[in-house]
Amino acid sequence: MAVELPENVVVSKLDHLANWCRKNSLWPMPFATACCGIELMATGASRHDLARFGAEVFRFSPRQCDLMIVAGRVVMKMLPVLQRIWQQMPEPKWCISMGACASTGGVFDTYCVVQGVDRFIPVDMYVPGCPPRPEQLIQAIIDLQDKIQREGTITGEEFEVASRQGRNRSLLELPIIQR
């Protein structure tokens, strides 16, 4: 039996509604260590205007952020800081790896540079390039919004560590690094 809804009443799933709110209110945590950080700053500035996608509220307090953007190379010495900030961010949270250095170590194929931050924190989107253009970062944020809408659950089961880590990555659980 069809039920007539009154005007201005919309029925949806709770998951769908929560995902819609989450995807349109991403608060980035900029972890900018090198030249990619300049493009990250340009993305938030007036010409590219990240505010159009609801993700312009950059915060420097991890407890207020839900989107880590790693922009630039990460050296082993900085890794405990990266992991500490990631662990301080509340769930649900996502990560974008911006540029060749953050994703693979780039041209710095050396023992002191992390050869891909996804070995230590789960990454949802990779932005190729050296450096990537602001348009590419914006595209990654749009793709991430799609992913949040498609895969997000209110219970957060999509955040199980095993499901977020790549198959060939070495770490199954995030180690807590003591300083």
**Shortest Å distance, C-beta 132 to ligand SF4:** 8
Given the complex with ligand SF4, which of 20 and 108 has the nearer CB atom? Answer: 108
Between residues 100 and 117, which has the closer beta carbon with respect to ligand SF4? 100
- Residues 114 and 79: their CA atoms lie apart, in Å, by 8
**Minimum distance of ligand SF4 from residue 94's CB (angstroms):** 20
CB of 42 to ligand SF4, least distance (A): 12
In this complex, which beta carbon is closest to ligand SF4, that of residue 66 or of residue 126? 126
Mapping DSSP to helix (H, G, I), strand (E, B) and coil, where does residue 117 land? helix
Amino acid identity, residue 79? L
65 or 114, CB closer to ligand SF4?
114
Q: From the CB of 108, what's the least distance to ligand SF4, in Å?
A: 8
Q: Which residues bind ligand SF4 (CB under 6 A)?
A: 34-36, 72-73, 99-101, 106, 130-131
CA distance 88 to 90: 6
